[in-house]
Amino acid sequence: MKWASCLLLIGLCGCSGAQASIQNGKDTLFTVGSTTYTKQDEYNLIKASNGGALTLQLAKNAVYDEVIGMDDDIRKAAQESYDDLASDYSDFEDQLKQMGYEDKDDYINTVLIPEQQGNRLQTQYFKDNKKEIQKTYKPSIVTILKCDDDKTAQKAIDALKDGKELQEVYDTYTSADSSFSNEEIVCTTLNTDIPTRLINQAYKTKDTGVIDEVFTMDDGTTYSYVAIVSDKDYDKNLSKYEETISAGENFEKEMWVYYFTKYDLKIYDQTIFDYLKVNNPEYLLDYPELSEEDE
Residue 260 forms part of a structural domain: yes
Using alpha carbons, list the distances in angstroms from residue 52 to 9, 121, 265, 288, 295. 13, 22, 14, 19, 21
Q: Measure the CA–CA gap between 216 and 106, rounded to whole angstroms.
A: 56
7 has a pLDDT exceeding 60:
no
| 145 and 224 belong to one structural domain | yes
Residue 113 forms part of a structural domain: yes
Residues 6+ apart with CB under 8 A from 148: 175, 177, 222, 223, 224
**Counted domains in the chain:** 2
Question: Which has more pLDDT, 1 or 240?
Answer: 240
pLDDT (average), residues 104-118? 95
Residue 237 forms part of a structural domain: no
Report DSSP letters for 200-211, one per residue: HHHHH-SS-EE-
Which of 231, 250, 267 corresponds to the end of one domain? 231
| 272 and 210 belong to one structural domain | no
Q: What is the model's pLDDT at position 49? A: 66
- Determine which helix (DSSP H) or strand (DSSP E) holds 227, and give its type and residue range: strand 224-231
**How confident is the model over 249-260, as pLDDT tens digits?**
999 999 999 999
Q: Measure the CA–CA gap between 136 and 257, rounded to whole angstroms.
A: 15
**Reported confidence tier of residue 27, pLDDT bands at 50, 70, 90:** confident
- Determine which helix (DSSP H) or strand (DSSP E) holds 245, and give its type and residue range: helix 238-245
CATH number of the domain at 168, please. 3.10.50
**How confident is the model over 64-90, as pLDDT tens digits?**
999 999 999 999 999 999 999 999 988
Which of 206, 231, 256 corresponds to the end of one domain? 231
| 126 and 246 belong to one structural domain | yes
Residue 89 forms part of a structural domain: yes
User: Nearest 5°: phi and psi at 154?
Assistant: -65, -40
| 201 and 101 belong to one structural domain | no
| 81 and 176 belong to one structural domain | no
pLDDT (average), residues 155-159? 98
pLDDT (average), residues 117-129? 97
Grouping H, G, I as helix, E, B as strand and the rest as coil, residue 83 is helix
Residue 236 forms part of a structural domain: no
Domain that holds residue 276: 2-130+242-294
| 197 and 252 belong to one structural domain | no
